[in-house]
Amino acid sequence: MAGKKRKALTYTLPEEFHVFGFSRDLLAWYDSQKRDLPWRINRDPYRVWVSEIMLQQTRVETVKPYYQNFMAKFPTVAALAEAPEEEVLKAWEGLGYYSRARNLQAAAREVQERYGGVIPDTPEEIATLKGIGPYTAGAILSIAYEKPEPAVDGNVMRVFSRLLYLTDDIAKPATRVKVEHLVRQVIPHGRAGDFNQALMELGALVCLPRTPQCLTCPVFDYCLARKEGVQDELPVKGKAKPPRLVRLQVAVVKRGDAVLINKRPEQGLLAGMWEFPMVETDADTRSLKQEALLQGLRKRFGVDVEVIEPLMELTHTFSHLQWHMEVWQCDWIEGDDLPPNARFATADELAGLAFPVAHQKILETIKSDR
């Protein structure tokens, strides 16, 4: 037969779990202890949306200044939709996961065109927007529109793992689905937004990853892991692979008072960000490294240069990669027919373009050289 039959799974809360008391006590704690955060001034759906995208895998303290600046520059869906992409990326510079910025703007344009500038309030419609997955959909729907949808992030997975003594690996996608089913049964209608935020706030302030502060926990009485004394063993989480080493030769090519830069592809690592030209090579001698660099510059940029001297050596670690960069000072000799993704830029022009953190030290060095 064509197609598999999958049994519909239903996850039920433990008998002894007191749903009403739990949400009552958690909300009371949240009402008195919640942090004052810039995105909690009101429940404007656009403000909530931007904050949720920025907060993906990113700390609150890191997001704060970016959020203030972003909302000042792009205060409405329309403003974001109409802005040049370069300005949006510049506002995201240093925040990481740059596809979030590109997806956010693409979705803003979609909201303008398809929904007349109003962010949709149904799970089906909002989930079609780029960059809005299960968590962000639930967060916007509950916080901005008070819909009783779960918003399960890392905090909620950890809190529920302990609260209900769940031993599922929270690194596995199936576990998030399970926790969503459980959370859905606990959401108090009428306060869905506060409840979801309270779960996350509890994870951020009390139910910490390493050292849960059980003695000050407002829902201590309901926690099954605490009852068994296993709160320090939960949640269960599989380990990540170590980053792969990548050796790169980097060129700072000067032509007069301009330097050669390159805009990265629209997809993949550091998508759409600017950088100094780089060549990946395993070469282990000075001359072989320089040779690889010269060949790469000629082939990819149509430019001939002279290598002057080594400038610096840098290491930058991503989640999944480790870049070992050797940077060479070069002088342009010939070649004007640059590919569309490359250009020579002056210091003033560089200031308006978005570079990843991995290239910031090079940028600073060039600036101070003048």
Partner DNA sequence: TACGCGTGGCC
Partner DNA sequence: TGGCCAAGCGT
Shortest spacing between CB 225 and DNA, in angstroms: 15
Shortest spacing between CB 206 and DNA, in angstroms: 11
Q: Assess contact for 96 and 65: CB atoms under 8 A.
A: no
90 binds DNA (CB under 7 A): no
CB-based burial label for 194 (10 Å; 0-12, 13-18, 19+): buried
Cα 12 from Cα 15, distance rounded (Å): 9
Total interface residues for DNA by CB under 7 A:
61
197 vs 262 by CB, closer to DNA: 197
CA atoms within 13 A on the CB side of 79: 12
Shortest spacing between CB 359 and DNA, in angstroms: 8
Shortest spacing between CB 188 and DNA, in angstroms: 19
Cα 218 from Cα 15, distance rounded (Å): 21
Phi, psi of 253 (to 5 degrees): -95, 115
How far from the centroid of its chain's Cα atoms is residue 219's Cα? 30
120 binds DNA (CB under 7 A): no
Among 123, 133, 310, 352, which residue sits at the site for DNA (rule: CB under 7 A)? 133
Could you tell me which of 331, 321, 12 has the C-alpha nearest to residue 181? 12
Shortest spacing between CB 356 and DNA, in angstroms: 3
Among 3, 229, 242, 340, which residue sits at the site for DNA (rule: CB under 7 A)? 242
Active site residue 291: no
DSSP lists the bridge partners of residue 305 as 332
Among 131, 148, 150, 218, which residue sits at the site for DNA (rule: CB under 7 A)? 131
Distances (CA, A) of 172 to 85, 138, 157, 159, 183: 34, 19, 11, 16, 17
Shortest spacing between CB 336 and DNA, in angstroms: 30
157 vs 279 by CB, closer to DNA: 157
Cα 366 from Cα 125, distance rounded (Å): 47
CB-based burial label for 244 (10 Å; 0-12, 13-18, 19+): exposed
140 vs 253 by CB, closer to DNA: 140
Q: Which stretch binds DNA (CB under 7 A): 68-76, 293-301, 341-349, 354-362?
A: 354-362
Cα 285 from Cα 223, distance rounded (Å): 60
57 vs 295 by CB, closer to DNA: 57
**In sequence order, what E strands does 101-257 have?**
244-255
With a CB cutoff of 8 Å and minimum separation 6, the contacts of 149 are 123, 137, 138, 141, 142, 184, 187, 192
40 vs 300 by CB, closer to DNA: 40
x/- string (CB under 7 A) for DNA, residues 268-297?
xxxx--------------------------
Among 37, 78, 342, 350, which residue sits at the site for DNA (rule: CB under 7 A)? 37
If you ran DSSP here, which 8-state letter would residue 242 be given? P
Q: Which stretch binds DNA (CB under 7 A): 109-117, 221-229, 237-245, 277-285?
A: 237-245
Strands 342-345 and 244-255: unpaired
Looking at 15, 16, 52, 180, which residue is catalytic?
Answer: 52
300 vs 316 by CB, closer to DNA: 316
50 vs 294 by CB, closer to DNA: 50
Q: Assess contact for 171 and 157: CB atoms under 8 A.
A: no
Binding residues for DNA, rule: CB under 7 A, are 37, 39-40, 51-52, 55-62, 94-99, 103, 130-137, 139, 153-155, 158, 172-174, 197, 200-201, 203-204, 209-210, 237, 239-242, 268-271, 316-321, 356-358
State the catalytic residues.
52
